[in-house]
Amino acid sequence: MLAPLTAGRWDLQDLLAEPVEASLEVALHELETEVAAFVAQRDLLTDAIDTAVFFDILRHYESITDQSRRLSAYGDLYFSEDTQNGAALNLRDRINKALTRANNRTLFFSLWLKEMAEETAVRLSAAGTDDFRYFLESERKFKPHTLSESEEQIINLKDANGIDAMMNLYEMITSGFSYTLEVDGETKTLSRDQLAGYYRHPDPAVRAATYQELYRVYAENSTLLAQIYNHRAHDWHNEGDLRHFAQPISFRNLANDLPDDVVDTLLEVCRQNSGIFQRYFELKAGWIGMDKLRRYDIYAPLAAADKEFAYGAAVEMVLDSFTGFSPAIGELAARVFAADHVDAETRPGKRGGAFCYGVSPALTPWVFLNYSGQARDVAVMAHELGHAVHDMLCAGHSPLTYHPPLPLAETASVFAEMILTDRLLKEENDPAVRRDLLAAAIDDAYASVHRQAFFTIFEREAHRLISEGATVDALCETYMANLRDQFGDSLELSDEFRWEWISIPHFYNVPFYTYAYSFGQLLVLALYHQYQREGEDFIPRYLKILSYGGSEAPVKVLEEAGFDIHAPQFWQGGYDVLQEMITALEAL
Ligand SMILES: [Zn+2]
């Protein structure tokens, strides 16, 4: 295919064709009809249910799930295009309202799956596919934590205008922040994403000013934002108590199908390996001519010239690297561009960051970028396309088991970044450029393994402290202690970083999410090690891990590939790979 030359907008017509209002009306009507037919079958759900009848009802449920996801995706993707667009906000609200209603009316099904007698579960499980067996197992694992139907309905209804609405406000408030930065004598007004580009600015004074400006804005709004976080943590805590979870993190662990002890082991191994990155920060200080790095300089560029990448060239580079690893993977990634499912240009009001949205096994995923031509943007493109390829490899599964579980959700994306780096390293003979590439890989590993693990370590403490009525000041102090534990004496830590925790959207939207990044990347390092040893033979094994999607427990999928994630040595293996890279850097 011909790679697109310029970053543009995506096409959402595969979700709702133009004119959208008319399509939406038809889709909502269809959903309503399906839901009504589904509800009419409710009385058939007894322990005496005929197997064939049950699987007919299940197919119905899959179809409603798929339709709901398409509508929900349209609302989210359209709103992401411009978060200040009132029409998009209104449309998304209408869709979400309809989906909440539909969800409440179909809720009885998943409740029945949890409630049915064990013999019934065994009988249905034996008659179904492997996908269905794991789906049923996953549904029933929440059994000890599920409330009565009316209580679940009340929580759903109240969340829509309660905690979910509060998270929406957080996003609206923080998307509206603007930042002022002086660069080369010019005063610029920037969005957070644009500001974030200056973390990597060659001038140390600009990097310092960037962080100072970011936390000036967050500090100014800290009372409001800390209050929202306080509500988030209390709500999480209260619901966790109602549902009998041992610790606040246990809900996430169960959702991830990871035992608490695996997560504790992962976080502890991360904590013990801070020394590796501290060594790297000392090395980096020397390269950029500083006695000691400041926290501002973690992502300082090593290259004197900040190379820019035209969009078309970046697309080609990413697709080529995928194809070099596996032509099948390259082909899947190319399909995302061919379908016009990429929104890459930067625009005012557009949501920040990047993501991939896999909607349905039957649809090519959508990829959202804010492409501004930095080397980092090329890596992000590879990352998000890795997600898309992962989703596409799972197209054979049901909408209920299609999505990879969180612990494996970052496997393909991070692996894709490594493939890109590997390709660039192979083409490069200049030791200075090789150093830059290796260092960029370590920078990334810091950001996505180590930093994310310490985020979760902080959240564990923050949720405990808030439930004990801690002040905002105490939370800031705890955050600073967390950073000191991470950095030791390897760098200078200035005081405004006490506000960093209130600026992390994940803490609000998806508590305890971030360790999944650590899990994902350390896993990838271990897998990559395997690839280097096995070569081609590794590829089918790797594709098999990916193509499981959410149809089997992560522990089992990985065990089959020969990894024991209960063992600290397994995680240490990931850090050993990083250690080797740092040793190689020290020798350059
Ligand atoms: Zn990702």
- Distance between CA atoms of residues 204 and 225, nearest Å: 29
Compute, in angstroms, the gap from residue 518 CA to the centroid of ligand 1: 11
Residue 505 CB neighbours (<10 A): 16
Residue 575 pLDDT > 80, yes or no?
A: yes
pLDDT digits (tens, 9 = 90+) for 151-203: 999 999 999 999 999 999 999 999 999 999 999 999 999 999 999 999 999 99
Helix H segments across 118-247? 118-127, 130-141, 149-161, 163-175, 192-196, 204-220, 222-242
Compute, in angstroms, the gap from residue 143 CA to the centroid of ligand 1: 30
Residue 1 pLDDT > 80, yes or no?
A: no
Residue 481 pLDDT > 50, yes or no?
A: yes
Compute, in angstroms, the gap from residue 62 CA to the centroid of ligand 1: 26
Cβ burial of 300 (10 Å; 0-12, 13-18, 19+) is buried
Cβ burial of 141 (10 Å; 0-12, 13-18, 19+) is middle
Compute, in angstroms, the gap from residue 411 CA to the centroid of ligand 1: 8
Compute, in angstroms, the gap from residue 155 CA to the centroid of ligand 1: 29
Compute, in angstroms, the gap from residue 520 CA to the centroid of ligand 1: 9
Compute, in angstroms, the gap from residue 339 CA to the centroid of ligand 1: 21
Compute, in angstroms, the gap from residue 504 CA to the centroid of ligand 1: 16
Residues in the chain, total = 588
Compute, in angstroms, the gap from residue 444 CA to the centroid of ligand 1: 12
Sorting pLDDT into bands at 50, 70 and 90, what band is 308?
confident
The 8-class DSSP code of residue 373 comes to S
Compute, in angstroms, the gap from residue 269 CA to the centroid of ligand 1: 22
For the chain, what is the radius of gyration of the CA atoms?
24
Compute, in angstroms, the gap from residue 43 CA to the centroid of ligand 1: 42
Sorting pLDDT into bands at 50, 70 and 90, what band is 303?
low
Q: Kindly provide the b/e burial profile for residues 448-464, where b requires at least 16 CB atoms within 10 angstroms of the residue's own CB.
A: bbbbbbbbbbbbbbbbe
Compute, in angstroms, the gap from residue 329 CA to the centroid of ligand 1: 17
Compute, in angstroms, the gap from residue 582 CA to the centroid of ligand 1: 24
Residue 226 pLDDT > 60, yes or no?
A: yes
Compute, in angstroms, the gap from residue 355 CA to the centroid of ligand 1: 7
Distances (CA, A) of 330 to 10, 105, 319, 380, 385: 20, 42, 6, 16, 10
Compute, in angstroms, the gap from residue 418 CA to the centroid of ligand 1: 13
Q: Are 310 and 4 in contact (CB under 8 A)?
A: no
Compute, in angstroms, the gap from residue 162 CA to the centroid of ligand 1: 28
Residue owning tokens 């040793």: 583
Compute, in angstroms, the gap from residue 114 CA to the centroid of ligand 1: 31
- Distance between CA atoms of residues 322 and 344, nearest Å: 19
Compute, in angstroms, the gap from residue 248 CA to the centroid of ligand 1: 24
Compute, in angstroms, the gap from residue 324 CA to the centroid of ligand 1: 22
Compute, in angstroms, the gap from residue 383 CA to the centroid of ligand 1: 6
User: CB within 5 A of ion ligand 1: which residues?
Assistant: 413
Compute, in angstroms, the gap from residue 519 CA to the centroid of ligand 1: 12
Give the residue-averaged pLDDT of 515-537: 86
Sorting pLDDT into bands at 50, 70 and 90, what band is 305?
very low
Q: Return the pLDDT at 500.
A: 98
Compute, in angstroms, the gap from residue 121 CA to the centroid of ligand 1: 35
Q: Return the pLDDT at 194.
A: 93
Average pLDDT, whole number, for the chain? 93
Residue 222 pLDDT > 60, yes or no?
A: yes
Return the sign of the alpha-carbon dihedral for residues 346, 352, 353, 359. Answer: negative
Give the residue-averaged pLDDT of 567-587: 88
pLDDT digits (tens, 9 = 90+) for 30-67: 999 999 999 999 999 999 999 999 999 999 999 999 99
Residue owning tokens 């209960």: 566
Cβ burial of 561 (10 Å; 0-12, 13-18, 19+) is middle
Compute, in angstroms, the gap from residue 573 CA to the centroid of ligand 1: 22
pTM of the predicted model, to two decimals?
0.78
pLDDT digits (tens, 9 = 90+) for 249-289: 999 999 889 999 999 999 999 999 999 999 999 999 999 99
Compute, in angstroms, the gap from residue 410 CA to the centroid of ligand 1: 5
Compute, in angstroms, the gap from residue 459 CA to the centroid of ligand 1: 20
- Distance between CA atoms of residues 233 and 47, nearest Å: 39
Compute, in angstroms, the gap from residue 182 CA to the centroid of ligand 1: 32
Compute, in angstroms, the gap from residue 529 CA to the centroid of ligand 1: 21
Compute, in angstroms, the gap from residue 385 CA to the centroid of ligand 1: 9
358 backbone dihedrals φ, ψ, rounded to 5°: -90, 115
Compute, in angstroms, the gap from residue 185 CA to the centroid of ligand 1: 36
Q: Return the pLDDT at 306.
A: 61
Compute, in angstroms, the gap from residue 547 CA to the centroid of ligand 1: 17
pLDDT digits (tens, 9 = 90+) for 347-385: 999 999 999 999 999 999 999 999 998 878 999 999 999
CB proximity list for 28: less than 8 A, separation 6 or greater: 71, 98
Q: Which residue has the higher pLDDT, 558 or 339?
A: 339
pLDDT digits (tens, 9 = 90+) for 142-151: 888 989 889 9
Return the sign of the alpha-carbon dihedral for residues 429, 430, 431, 436. Answer: negative
Distances (CA, A) of 287 to 206, 275, 303, 439: 18, 19, 10, 11
For the chain, helix, strand, coil in percent to 5 are 70, 5, 25
- Distance between CA atoms of residues 481 and 486, nearest Å: 9
Compute, in angstroms, the gap from residue 138 CA to the centroid of ligand 1: 23
Compute, in angstroms, the gap from residue 555 CA to the centroid of ligand 1: 20
Q: Return the pLDDT at 3.
A: 62
Compute, in angstroms, the gap from residue 406 CA to the centroid of ligand 1: 10
